[in-house]
Amino acid sequence: MRQLRHRRLTAVVALATLLVTAAPPTAASAGAGAGAKPERAGFHRVGYFTQWGIYGRAFPVKKLDTSGAASRLTHVNYAFGNVSENGRCYVDGGPGEGDAWADYQRPVPAEESVDGVADAPGQALNGNFGQLAKLKAKHPELKVLISLGGWSWSTYFSNAARTDASRKAFVASCIDIYLKGNLPGSPGAAAGVFDGVDLDWEWPNWEGEPGNVIRPEDRENFTKLLAEFRRQLDGYGRTTRKHHPLTAFLPANPATMDAGYEGRKIFKYLDFATVQGYDFHGGWDAVTNQQSALRVPRGAPDNPDFSAEVAIDGWIARGAPRNKLVLGIPYYGRGWTGVTGGGNGLFQPATGPAPATFEAGYEDYKQLKTLAGKGYTVHRDLRSGHAWLFDGTTFWTYDDPAVVLQKTLYIRQAGLAGAMMWSLDGDDDNATLTKTIGLGLTTW
């Protein structure tokens, strides 16, 4: 049995390798792929597009189309929408609290535009929102959701969810701005860009970023907030004659699950939930480790430990239906430097996070893929479903196409609803990881 399992896993690696080593599409074929009829039946394939990705990462909305990623996705979650101290959605915050320029004000030049047409300065809708509207015009089955909160902007979620009145006002403000499209000074300009709402509250009744407002009643109030979103989204849907999806991002830590969520109850209101499948370990740890393994590796120094399977099983044990759970997959790796102890580098002491492009200890897949063969060796644990790079001093744990494909097989076998990707700007220009997920979750 063990030998058979090894053969199956080896086949996974071989299939993913074929995908990666195939000749990259030409500009003409990439365009044809982007315009081809998308395969959207069956599994959800949810990709986060980051507001700030247009800057240092040079990742405009157009790349979702030209790379072929858009035709492999069912949902794009726009990260992020902010929550004010008085519990309202807003888009015009000051520096650090908003970027209206990126969202809807920036005139996008023709070379970055989905349809090749430059924005006119001062037109009703520019920026990322305008480009998402153009992307949906080319891919009409694609759903775009506004993701509220995130690590940095979950500070005042508790205020918004605290009372019946605050919940009603918060939800109404979010629908007004994002679904009705009533941007400051431009009523209705963004109507139709967003189809629904994704709640990324990190975390109810559990510390996330320092300074977050936390209350014991967050647990019950999160359920009530979902109920209010569902009520108002359905009410709005009666005017648009559409269903407006409601989703949420949920944690991998069982303790956080118990502190902040009423298990089974929340899924009454959610179309589906995406589950954190990454950040299990990182440069904050004193020893190297996996950040996104499918299963806890043998010899792991922590007991209990985190893994994708632990996270999914944790939610199922708390009453979550399998067919509403979407597994999160990272398009980045976590790294350490100053690694000692020899061997393949795994579970060895390190001096701190590895140097990287934007943040120490955090590097996009598109950068990590270039390290293989340049002093770094790729190592794999097929049983546990994770890979890492090691050059004798620096260690990176990441998901490559072979790991991603293995995770799609797990999603199928476990009866889950699909895969989520954080974040799309970490992929390479050929959308290799997104295409791998599309391959693994194609409904034959």
The CATH number that applies at residue 260 is 3.20.20.80
3-state SS assignment for residue 117: coil
3-state SS assignment for residue 306: coil
Domain with 265, as residue range(s), is 42-331+399-440
Domains in the chain: how many in total? Answer: 1
Mean per-residue pLDDT, 351-360: 98
In a domain, 294, yes or no: yes
The candidate with the shortest Cα–Cα distance to 335, out of 389, 298, 378, 399, is 389
In the predicted structure, residue 4 carries a pLDDT above the cut 70 = no
In a domain, 37, yes or no: no
In a domain, 378, yes or no: no
* Weakest mean pLDDT among 30-39, 47-56, 124-133, 145-154: 30-39
* pLDDT score of 11: 52
118 CB burial (10 A radius; 0-12, 13-18, 19+): middle
In the predicted structure, residue 29 carries a pLDDT above the cut 60 = no
In the predicted structure, residue 260 carries a pLDDT above the cut 80 = yes
Count of other CB atoms within 10 angstroms of residue 392:
12
pLDDT tens digits, residue range 362-391? 999 999 999 998 999 999 999 999 999 999
In a domain, 26, yes or no: no
∠ Cα 63 416 36 (to 5°): 35
39, 97, 112, 202: the catalytic one is 202
In a domain, 384, yes or no: no
The candidate with the shortest Cα–Cα distance to 269, out of 231, 242, 237, is 231
Check if 202 is active-site: yes
In the predicted structure, residue 174 carries a pLDDT above the cut 80 = yes
In a domain, 200, yes or no: yes
Beta bridge partners of 395: 336, 390
Beta bridge partners of 79: 50, 147
In a domain, 21, yes or no: no
User: What does the alpha-carbon distance between residue 80 and residue 271 come to, in Å, rounded to a whole number?
Assistant: 19
In a domain, 385, yes or no: no
Enclosing H/E stretch for 336: strand 332-337
Mean per-residue pLDDT, 292-312: 97
DSSP class of residue 364 equals: E
* pLDDT score of 38: 33
* pLDDT score of 20: 40
3-state SS assignment for residue 342: coil
